[in-house]
Structure 1
């Protein structure tokens, strides 16, 4: 109850200095917010912001298709989150009839679909995952150009999940593109060397200590065509002899079963690459459901926990690198940031596919009467998009 009182979206009575104040809680199907007279900002002419008197958020039931239909019918003033990239053509074709415009805001950093290895997976599959060359080989086995062309409509940049150029932690072009080429021959050779060329079962699948390796991938269709990308990757891994099982689940089950250490690979986006020391869980074993190793993260808190799994030394070292950063002077902190991403990519703790695209919450639909919405803005969950488009300055034309 105390925590709820501290959240403005669950406690409308909490005083705030944000542009709008909630009139009711986010738990209701229609949520409204009213202009806050205590908001701290004014425009260059001295007019109090925000311009809009209120905002209404309506829960769309029935999946992302319903949101797209509402947009095409002209029933949405502004929406970006869960407007899917594969609906871009349909939305563009309906612009004139629906009296709206479609723009794209590319993501700020990272990879817009990424494959996170569970470094705390038990059993033979987990043992294989903890072999660096095994992970590296699986990166080379992927045809990213095919995924970019079909699932990303040709948009974005093939890359690993690192910050974008110009960021003080950007590790360089050589690291951003490391092992992003499609090279199944080298992948096969690396797997032969790492596991043994003859380490196969009766059906020809690769094994570790005589037990079949099964890369169970969990994916949800929460954003974009992630399940389609997962299927492409699954087929690529099977083409080099690694049995793969792609599981498309609900978002809730996706995370619940990851936290219980059941999956070998998690599909999500790496959208925290620009926030190296403030958002750690996708790169190191910290927090419930850490993308790097959920069992390891639990083991660090409670070694006797139900799903705890002893951390590999390299996982602990990676966490310690992240923890050192905030206390360092900026020059040393930036050097450490670069070293963290270099370490992650060289060891292939996760696999980036395509980034800097509008795949995740970057297809923006706005009514033509809504003005001052920028054609492009920073797009990233840690940036709380669409706040990067300065909605306090939006207004409706008469």
Structure 2
């Protein structure tokens, strides 16, 4: 009996008893009780693998409210039977504790669209692969399997036969090739191809071999690219059937079609839906112009994620379950269990905590700091939630004095290693640890790699210049020509002006108390600091325009899986748009071939070829460690970033009606927050 026929029989009322009996023959394995089954990959099976191991034929069931949820997805047709919605090869997921119940709304908080949103993004996220919750094993997700050639220059990925987009259209290898060839490499979409999708400065070749087979060919070895697909927000697929309508290459009437619906041309329509970004939380068409989106017959771009946006305004967004989602549990129930996600934008931290304490928030981990823990712990019972700690990765806050500052006087000061050493010695990290981190961390410098995930950063490097020594700091500042001639407590710059640093910060990137402490520490050695708190959007805009005196954020994107496939943390500006680092004018010099920006020191120039070499090695190999050590030493010698407290734990909160929640192995953007923990199998106790 074919799978399609079995599914069709399941939907027949006359065979409900037969269906139930067949379903009972398959064990409802959970992680708590795998019932003797041992999958190839942790906690999940391919359908054929599960049926063979359990000696059964799986029957499938759907959310009884899925038709009503589908009605909220503007532009979706009436739902076909489940047999026509699931892939022929669904991914079978073993729930952590229990087979769940359908229903409920997962409520969460972000600071604003594109601000603090990756927490909830990770709940609905999918990519070709993901990390299992051991944070060591890459496992299938959208992809069914993959295969490398001998030198890691060709990756062949096999997709799931019969997989569909959220609007019911087929998802095929063409959607992967379209994403890279027609969007990433399209100069009408990206004036300059994003560096992260070039390899030693050259593009890959992405070819749809057949409906379920896509081949990536790289100009250099890229053994870490699977890690990118496992942890990255950028999804390696876009719906060709939907977006290609706006491209004259595929539709000779593209401009006319766009103009018919109020766009200037096809490119404007494409930008309206795609936005020139793989980042999934750019404002959706519903927020840009909901009436225009609905007039075009599709409110948002179709997705493969577990939930799809159906409403968005200035206050937040609402999502409903994807009726074509590709996962089922071991009882044959299509996932996700949770019907809806309700994301509210709240910029004020006190209001955020109040919402949590009132029991209004089902899940929260991003932008939740140890300084919040005592208050939230005290109100745990009142709000009917649980607050826990998890080891954090990429959470060490840094200070990066702008070494390519637009002001040449400040630039010269900030490039001086002795000035930076003085700034590091002026910081009382033990006090920061006690006040902000409840004594849970250790003083630590930061690097372009997370020390706990690599072996090439020594303890001596981590501890360098972390002792509190304000007297030596003052001596160093004097040695670089900074004096207080009028004895008003503020040092003067070489041009006679007072040395005043404006510290702009966002509480998404740093606990709010740290900038206040840093202001006082630096003021005590003669460097006056003026504070200004802004939103994360405002902070990022200023930093990426090279308008800040000093950058401060969490040093994320640096765990081994991240650095094995992306050199962003290793070369100027030592971060991405969302976590800006240092040396923006150095980066501009490199990008422009020397016609713009500021020429960097010679050993900073070495970082680009070193980073290329690093990516071509298997992470953890002897050669990888040698190169990584050299990069880290250059980084440290130039004080690219000054770290505060490392090895901290981070709090996260979930309401007690949320089930199948596993203790987090790590709280980390570097593994994309909740993505390794399979939120599609979470359920809400009614």
Q: TM-score range by the shorter chain?
A: 0.7 to 0.9
Corresponding residue for residue 402 of structure 2? 118
State yes or no: 1:2 paired with 2:270: yes
2:585 to 291, 295, 301: 295
Q: Distance in 1 between matches of 2:332 and 2:392?
A: 32
Q: List runs of 5+ in structure 2 lacking aligned partners.
A: 1-268, 285-298
Q: Distance in 1 between matches of 2:489 and 2:655?
A: 56
Q: What is the CA deviation profile of residues 337-381 of structure 1, one whole-angstrom value per residue up to 9, with x for unaligned ones?
A: 2332233234321111012324xxx43221212122122332222
Q: Distance in 2 between matches of 1:241 and 1:357?
A: 30
SS at match of 1:335: helix
State yes or no: 1:39 paired with 2:323: no
Q: Distance in 1 between matches of 2:459 and 2:401?
A: 23
1:179 to 462, 465, 477: 465
Q: Distance in 1 between matches of 2:631 and 2:312?
A: 37
Structure 1 position 325, deviation (Å): 1.5
State yes or no: 1:135 paired with 2:420: yes
Distance 1:235 1:15, change over 3 A: closer
State which drifts further: 7-16 or 51-60: 7-16
State which drifts further: 178-187 or 158-167: 158-167
State yes or no: 1:391 paired with 2:679: yes
Higher Cα Rg: structure 1 or 2? 2
Q: 1:141–1:237: 8 Å Cα contact kept in structure 2? A: yes
SS at match of 1:230: helix
Q: 1:35–1:52: 8 Å Cα contact kept in structure 2? A: no
Corresponding residue for residue 366 of structure 2? 81
Structure 1 position 26, deviation (Å): 5.8
Distance 1:223 1:292, change over 3 A: closer
Q: List runs of 5+ in structure 1 lacking aligned partners.
A: none
Q: Alignment RMSD, CA only? A: 3.0
Q: What is the CA deviation profile of residues 154-189 of structure 1, one whole-angstrom value per residue up to 9, with x for unaligned ones?
A: 222321124455522540211111111111222223
Matches within 5 A, 1:1-398: 1-2=269-270, 4-5=273-274, 10=284, 12-16=300-304, 18=305, 20-24=306-310, 29-35=316-322, 37-40=324-327, 45=330, 47=332, 50-61=335-346, 63-109=348-394, 111=396, 113-121=397-405, 122-162=407-447, 163-195=449-481, 199-202=483-486, 203=488, 205-212=490-497, 213-226=499-512, 228-274=513-559, 275-276=562-563, 278-286=565-573, 290-302=580-592, 308-329=597-618, 330-358=621-649, 362-397=650-685
Q: 1:283–1:291: 8 Å Cα contact kept in structure 2? A: no
SS at match of 2:392: coil
Provide the aligned length of Structure 1 versus Structure 2: 385
Distance 1:57 1:299, change over 3 A: farther
Structure 1 position 36, deviation (Å): 5.2
Q: Distance in 2 between matches of 1:355 and 1:27?
A: 38
Structure 1 position 130, deviation (Å): 0.8
SS at match of 1:285: coil
Which consecutive aligned stretches of 4+ in structure 1 deviate over 6 angstroms post-superposition?
A: none
SS at match of 1:151: helix
Structure 1 position 32, deviation (Å): 0.9
TM-score of the aligned structures, taking structure 2 as reference length? 0.51
Q: Distance in 2 between matches of 1:46 and 1:346?
A: 57
- The higher relative CO (CA closer than 8 Å, separation ≥ 6) is in 1
Q: Distance in 2 between matches of 1:136 and 1:255?
A: 26
Q: 2:391–2:648: 8 Å Cα contact kept in structure 1? A: yes
TM-score of the aligned structures, taking structure 1 as reference length? 0.84
Corresponding residue for residue 57 of structure 2? none
Distance 1:339 1:313, change over 3 A: closer
Q: Distance in 2 between matches of 1:67 and 1:290?
A: 25
Q: 1:133–1:191: 8 Å Cα contact kept in structure 2? A: yes
State which drifts further: 212-221 or 70-79: 212-221
Structure 1 position 144, deviation (Å): 0.5
